[in-house]
Chains A and B, each alone.
Chain A
C-alpha cells in the first residue's frame, strides 16, 4: 500500500484536485482585473457560453480541424504501416527516420512550418514556383480559406509516426496462416486486404482514431506560433479561445467553464479508450 501512496498523492494533487477546483471556479465570476471580488454566479458561465456565437464558431473550427487532421492521419498512417510491414532493403532506416517528426518539439515543428509557408521567402512558394505550379508567390497562412488546412498539415506530419507505430502492432499480430488460408481459397490481393487485414486492424485503428482525436481537440501549440487564431478568426479554435479568454481577457471563471466542457467532451470520447486499455491490465 505504501507503494501506491506516492502516486495517489501526486495524481490527487496535480490531476484530480485541479480538475475539481476548475469545476468550482467555473461557478464563480473570477476576473483578475478585479481580484478582490469573485461572486458566485452558478451556471451563468455555462449558459453564457451556450448562447455565445464566438464560442460555437470556435467549437466548429475545432471540429473541422480535428476531422481533417484525424482522417488524414488515419489514411497516411495506414499506408505507411502497410509499407513498413513489407520486407525490403532500407526498411529499418526508414522506420528510424520516421521517428524524427515524433521527437521534435511542437514549437520547433511550428517554427519550421511557419518558415516553409512564409509568403515572401518560404519553401512552399519556392517549390511551387520552380515547378511552375504558380506564377507568383502566394499568401498561405494569411489566407482564411487555407489556414486551417495548413495547420492541420503540420499537425498530421508530426502525428503520423506515432499512429503508424501503433497500427504496425496490429498488422504484425495477424497470423500468417490467415493469409495462406485466404490464398488457398483463391482470394486476390485486394480481397485479402479487405477481408483479412482490415478486420484484424480494427481495434488498433479505433485506438489510433480516438487517441489522435483527443490530441487534435486539445491542440494549442501550432495555433499559438503559426497564426494566433488568425487571420481574422480563421484559426480561432476552442483551445485558443480558452487561452484568450483566460490570459488576455483575464476572465478565469468562463475560461474554467470552457476548459471543463472540453474535458467532458474528451472524457466521453476517451471512455472507449480507457475501457480498451483497462481490459488488458
Chain B
C-alpha cells in the first residue's frame, strides 16, 4: 500500500463521476416513468369521475372543465330516485329541450335492481364454484388416480374455449328449457367461464401443501372429505379469497352472455343496462357518466382492498410461480 498515489488517477475520478451521473439519470428515469404511468392509468378514470359530478350545462363546455366548477350530486340523485319519478312519455320528454341532451331514460329506475341482479348472480356463481371446484382440485392435487393427467388437460382445454363459441348452443338450449331472461341461465353459463380457472388455481395451491398433511389426517381416521374440510381448507384461505374475488369480478363484469340471455329488468345485469344507455344518443352525458362510476366503484374497491390476494392469485393462475 506504500506506493498508492495520494491522488487517484484521472480515469478513476472520471469513473466515479460517471457512476454518480448514471445513478442520478437512473433515479430521474424512474421518477419520470412512474409519473407517466400513474397519469396513464388514472387520467381516463378521473375524467369519468369528474364528468359524473358536473351538471349537463357544464359538461358540454368547450374546452372541457377538467375539475367541475360547481360539483353536483344531481346525477347520482337521479339514479337513486329514478324509481319514484314519473315514467318518461313522449309528452314529458318533448317538454324538455332535446338539444340540451338533458334526458334521463325511463330505464334509469332499473339501474339499482340491475346491480342487485349482478350481485345475486355473482354470489351464486361464487358458491357453486367453491362447491364444485375445490373438491376437484383437492382430488387432482393429492390423490393419485388413473386419468389424473387427462383430467388436468380436460380442465385446461375448457379454460381456453372462447365464450363467443358457446353463445349459439347455449342460446338454443336455454330457449328450449324456457330459461331465457332468468338469472338461472346466467348462473349456469357463467360456470363455464369461471370453474376451470378456480380448479386451476386451487390445484396449484394444494400441490404446494405437503402430502404428509394428507397422510397424517388419514391416519387419524379422517375421511377424504374431512381431511379436505378440517385440514386443507383452513390452510388455503388466501387462495380461497383469491378464487372468490376472481369469480365474483368475472361474473359482475360479464357482458356477452348476459346480452344474449337477458331481455327485461327481471334478469338484466348492470353491464347490460349500462350498454343500453350508451346506445341512446339522447341520454344525458352526465347521467351516463354517473352510471359508469357506479359500475366502476365496487370492483375497484374490491381490487384495491384485496390487492395482495389478487396479485398472488393472478400469478398462480397463469405463469410458473
Chain A residues proximal to chain B, CB less than 8 Å:
1-4, 6-8, 10-11, 14-19, 21-22, 25, 30, 79-80, 83, 86, 88, 90-91, 94-108, 110-116, 118, 120-123, 126, 129-130, 137, 157, 161-162, 165-166, 168-170, 173, 203-204, 207, 211, 214, 217-218, 220-221, 224-225, 228, 239, 242-243, 246-247, 252, 255-256, 259-260, 262-263, 266-267, 270, 273-274, 276-278, 280-281
Shortest distance in angstroms between A56's beta carbon and chain B's nearest beta carbon?
18
Contact B30 A7 (CB under 8 A): no
9 nearest A-B pairs in the assembled complex, by CB-CB distance: A103-B303, A7-B136, A105-B253, A3-B139, A3-B135, A18-B169, A14-B192, A107-B271, A263-B165
Q: Is B64 an interface residue (CB 8 A)?
A: yes
Enumerate B35-73 residues with CB–CB distance to A below 8 Å. Answer: 37-38, 40-42, 44-45, 47-48, 51, 59-64
Q: Would you call B104 an interface residue if the criterion is a C-beta within 8 Å of the partner chain's C-beta atoms?
A: no
Shortest CB distance A256–B (Å): 4
Once bound together, how far apart are the Cα atoms of A99 and B138, in whole Å? 30
Cα-based distance from A247 to B259 in the complex (angstroms): 10
Query: Interface range on chain B: under 10, 10 to 19, 20 to 34, or 35 or more?
Result: 35 or more
Q: Are B162 and A262 in contact (CB under 8 A)?
A: yes
Q: Which residue numbers of B lie inside 8 Å of A, CB to CB?
A: 27, 30-31, 33-34, 37-38, 40-42, 44-45, 47-48, 51, 59-64, 128, 131-133, 135-136, 138-140, 143, 145, 149, 151-158, 160-173, 188-189, 191-192, 195-196, 199-200, 203-204, 207, 224, 228, 249, 252-253, 255-256, 259-260, 270-271, 274-275, 277-279, 285, 288-289, 291-292, 295-296, 299-300, 302-304, 307, 310-311, 314-315, 318-321
A115 lies within 8 A of B160 (CB)? no
Contact B41 A107 (CB under 8 A): no
User: B243 to nearest A CB, angstroms?
Assistant: 14
Contact across chains for B157 and A99 when beta carbons are under 8 A apart: no
CB distance from A9 to the nearest CB of B (A): 8
* Other-chain residue from B44, B161, B319 in contact with A113 (beta carbon distance below 8 A): B44
Q: Is the CB of A99 within 8 A of B310?
A: yes
Asked if B165 contacts A262 (CB within 8 A), the reply is yes
CB distance from A167 to the nearest CB of B (A): 8
Contact of A103 with B162 at beta-carbon distance under 8 Å, contacts A116-B44, A120-B60 already known? no
B271-A129 in contact (CB<8A): no
Nearest-neighbour CB distance to chain B for A189, whole angstroms, equals 8
Nearest chain B CB to A219 CB, angstrom units: 9
Q: Which A residues are CB-close (under 8 A) to B275? A: 107, 110-111, 224-225
Given A22-B168, A259-B162, 8 additional A-B pairs, CB 8 A: A3-B143, A10-B128, A10-B191, A21-B173, A101-B41, A108-B274, A262-B165, A281-B203
Alpha-carbon gap, A102 to B249, bound state (A): 10
- Tell me how far the C-beta of B89 lies from the nearest C-beta in chain A, rounded to whole angstroms: 26
| Chain B residues within 8 Å of A122, by CB | 64
Q: How far is the CA of A6 from the CA of B165 in the complex (A)?
A: 23
Question: Residue on B with the closest CB to A7?
Answer: B136
A11–B300 touching, CB < 8 Å: no
Q: Are A100 and B311 in contact (CB under 8 A)?
A: no
CB<8 Å pairs between A and B, sample of 9: A18-B169, A22-B166, A22-B168, A97-B38, A99-B310, A103-B299, A105-B253, A217-B162, A259-B164
Distance (whole angstroms) from the CB of A216 to the closest CB of chain B: 11
Contacts of B285 in A (CB 8 A): 115, 118, 121
From A4, A98, A118, A266, give the contact of B41 (CB < 8 A).
Answer: A98
Q: Determine if B278 and A86 form an interchain contact, defined as CB atoms under 8 angstroms apart.
A: no
Question: Would you call A100 and B132 a contact (CB within 8 A)?
Answer: no
Q: Which residues of A contact B288 (CB under 8 A)?
A: 111, 115
User: A252 CA to B168 CA in the complex, in Å?
Assistant: 7
A61 to B195, CA, bound (A): 31
Q: How far is the CB of B143 from chain A (nearest CB, A)?
A: 8
Beyond A7-B136, A225-B275, A266-B160, is A105–B295 a contact (Cβ under 8 Å)? Answer: yes
CB contact under 8 A between A111 and B44, given known A105-B252, A218-B164, A262-B165: no
* Most B-side CB within 10 Å, residue of A108, A123, A129, A276: A108
